[in-house]
Amino acid sequence: MCSYAQDINALIAEGNRLESVPDEKAAFKKFKEVLKLNATNIYALNKCSELCSRIGQRETVNTKLRGEYYQAAKIYAQTALKVDPKNSEANCVMAIALGRSSMSKSGREKIENAKEVKKYVDAAIAGDTKNFKAWHVLGRWQYEISNLNGLERGLVKILYGALPPATLKQSIASFEKARALRPEFLLNYYEMAKAYKDNDNKTKAIFYLQLMITLPIQTEDDTALKEKAKALIKDWQ
């Protein structure tokens, strides 16, 4: 039993190391090895879900493969929630999986998942008020909902009657909460800058993008994210 636990701990440690390199596909494989030994290891389930969401988003050419990663992200999250329905990270990765697969789209699919995303992100924050990723997802949700077009707002009324109110100011407050909890989280600066810009504070938006560019790489997305930030600065100045 002791050796078994040591094996799992060693695999998790190696998965974490690979993620920080960053080599997310190798990290994903390592966390899957954990699940072969213990199918209900909630840390590995949460990691597999989050990594599938991130890897899937980068599959811009092969949309079928991207869809498969997003589906896997949801399945891992569902399994984690069966293990512990109140687990903050499990609820958060489910919100991420749903958000990645639909919130960037338009029309009915976005609207149908919007209520589910909000449900899971609220549960994630209720489970751990210091879950910085959950605050970021909430900020992104509030930003997307505040920017719904007329057709989408009509769909909301047809499907739900109403969604919880969401404003740019609420979005900014959630992003700022995520920043306070994890100042080195690059994606949060990028999304927060867009919210500030839309809220007529271009100076603050550019400041955060410039700050973001100076921060160390955390994930495989961050190099491309810094290039996007540079392009926005050039566009907004």
Q: What is the 3-state secondary structure (H, E, C) of 124-141?
A: HHHHCCCCHHHHHHHHHH
Mean pLDDT of the region 140-160:
79
Nearest residue to 93 (alpha-carbon basis) of 70, 68, 59, 64: 70
Mean pLDDT of the region 201-205:
96
Task: Choose one of 136, 158, 182: the last residue of a domain.
Answer: 182
φ/ψ of 149, rounded to 5, equals -85, 180
Q: Do residues 122 and 178 share a domain?
A: yes
In a domain, 166, yes or no: yes
- Average model confidence (pLDDT) for the chain? 91
Q: Which residues of 23-46 are buried (b: 16+ CB within 10 A; e: fewer)?
A: ebeebbebbbebbeebeebbbbbb
Q: Do residues 161 and 189 share a domain?
A: no
Mean pLDDT of the region 109-117:
79
Q: Give the residue numbers spanning the domain of 172.
A: 104-182
Three-state SS at 59: coil
pLDDT at residue number 13: 95
In a domain, 1, yes or no: no
Task: Of 5-19, 31-45, 62-76, 141-155, give the lowest mean pLDDT range.
Answer: 141-155
Query: C-alpha angle with apex 35: 33 to 38, nearest 5 degrees?
Result: 120
pLDDT at residue number 1: 46
pLDDT at residue number 111: 74
pLDDT at residue number 101: 76
Q: Do residues 165 and 198 share a domain?
A: no
In a domain, 212, yes or no: yes
CB 186 within 8 A of CB 215: yes
Q: Do residues 196 and 220 share a domain?
A: yes
In a domain, 157, yes or no: yes
Give residue-wise pLDDT tens across range 86-101: 999 999 999 999 988 7
CB 191 within 8 A of CB 225: no
Q: Do residues 154 and 189 share a domain?
A: no
Task: Choose one of 182, 199, 222: the last residue of a domain.
Answer: 182
CB 33 within 8 A of CB 44: no
φ/ψ of 163, rounded to 5, equals -110, 160
CB 77 within 8 A of CB 87: no
Rg (CA), the chain: 18
Task: Quickly state the pLDDT bin for 107 (edges 50, 70, 90).
Answer: low
Q: Is the pLDDT of residue 104 over 60?
A: no
More confident residue, 181 or 59: 181
Nearest residue to 77 (alpha-carbon basis) of 45, 32, 31, 33: 45
How many angstroms separate the CA atoms of 225 and 11, rounded?
29
Place of tokens 């569902």: 78
Mean pLDDT of the region 138-142:
94
Q: How many domains are contained in the chain?
A: 2
pLDDT at residue number 193: 98
Give residue-wise pLDDT tens across range 25-58: 999 999 999 999 999 999 999 999 999 999 999 9
Nearest residue to 99 (alpha-carbon basis) of 58, 152, 53: 53
More confident residue, 184 or 6: 184
Mean pLDDT of the region 130-137:
98
Task: Choose one of 138, 163, 182: the last residue of a domain.
Answer: 182
- Taking the CA atoms of residue 108, residue 109, residue 110 and residue 112 in that order, the dihedral angle to the nearest 10 degrees is 80
End-to-end CA distance of the chain: 60
The CA distances from residue 41 to 6, 9, 73, in Å, are 14, 11, 15
In a domain, 83, yes or no: no
Place of tokens 């929630």: 81
